[in-house]
Structure 1
Amino acid sequence: MAENIDPTFAEELTSACRTVIGDELRSVVYFTDDAVEQVYLRSDLDRTADLLGFAEIERTGFETGEKYRGTELGEYRATVRMFEHGYLVRVVTEATGAWVTTDGMSMTRFEELAAALKPVLREHE
């Protein structure tokens, strides 16, 4: 599926994701400041995602490490976004990144945290 990146690299990205996520893996997309490429898409899914739109959002991650540097939380590792039907995880280095989408997986604590924080935040809008 990857057309503009080294096929071996594309396979390494996909393999790393499949090893950790297994059958819940939906897609893998590689991106830089000026390129975006679908590396993997599960066969039961349509190719309708707006990769350029997603890339625009996820490229903000290139600044994340710098902005979070020196916090008491430690080094920035990844961003997890929760959706109705699954998750998007973004991992970046200084100039490259990947986002991975998954089916709904057990992330009970994140879901409980979001459920607890949402009404508190709404009270203070």
Structure 2
Amino acid sequence: MEEESEIDPQLADELLSVCRTVVGDELRSITHFTEESVGQIYLRSDLDRTADLIGFAEHERMGFRSQSAYRNTQLGEYQATIRMFEHGFLTRVIAGGHGVWVTTDSMDIDRFEELSTALKSVLGETSKQNK
């Protein structure tokens, strides 16, 4: 059964700060997930709370398994997944047992790379601290 995410408030604040700094007003939402739980950290005020977080989480959790499929390739280490939609983009980053997906309005491709790198750094530090 799906549980509401018990995300550390400090981690939530760090993720929100990183996203607001990199993405600015184009930020739509931030959702943290693990294999067992999912929780929304931020939702822009002009958006409806109708997203199926559990359905999204089930799909994005495949990233925990697909990371191993991309190991030892000539492409290098997996960094992030970016999905394009009619009204925006979804960026997923996974590090250790934590994942986060961020939805945004359209923005320059370089900002997606900056966002992914910053999120991976925050999640990586959290994974190290939890060991």
Q: What TM-score does the superposition give when structure 1 sets the normalisation length?
A: 0.80
- Of 69, 74, 77, 2:76 maps to 74
Report what 1:84 is aligned to.
86
1:45 matched to 2:75: no
1:105 matched to 2:111: no
**Pairwise CA RMSD:** 1.7
- What is the alpha-carbon distance in structure 2 between the residues aligned to residue 43 and residue 106 of structure 1? 23
Report the secondary structure of 1:23's partner residue: helix
Conserved 8 A contact 1:64-1:76: no
Aligned pairs (5 A) from 1:14-25: 14-25=16-27
Q: Deviations over 1:81-123 (max 9, x none)?
A: 000111000000131100000012234xxxxxxxxxxxxxxxx
- What is the alpha-carbon distance in structure 2 between the residues aligned to residue 106 and residue 97 of structure 1? 23
- What is the alpha-carbon distance in structure 1 between the residues aligned to residue 25 and residue 35 of structure 2? 30
Report what 1:119 is aligned to.
none
- What is the alpha-carbon distance in structure 2 between the residues aligned to residue 67 and residue 51 of structure 1? 25
Report the secondary structure of 2:59's partner residue: helix
List alignment gaps of at least 5 residues for structure 1. Answer: 108-125
In structure 1, what residue type is equivalent to 2:94? V
Task: Tell which has more relative contact order, 1 or 2 (C-alpha 8 A, sep 6+).
Answer: 2
Report the secondary structure of 2:15's partner residue: helix
Conserved 8 A contact 2:80-2:94: yes
- What is the alpha-carbon distance in structure 1 between the residues aligned to residue 57 and residue 17 of structure 2? 22
- What is the alpha-carbon distance in structure 2 between the residues aligned to residue 56 and residue 46 of structure 1? 21
Aligned pairs (5 A) from 1:1-12: 4-12=6-14
Q: How many residues align?
A: 107
Report the secondary structure of 1:100's partner residue: strand
Highest Rg: 1 or 2? 1
Report what 1:95 is aligned to.
97
- What is the alpha-carbon distance in structure 2 between the residues aligned to residue 93 and residue 4 of structure 1? 17
Moved over 6 A (4+): none
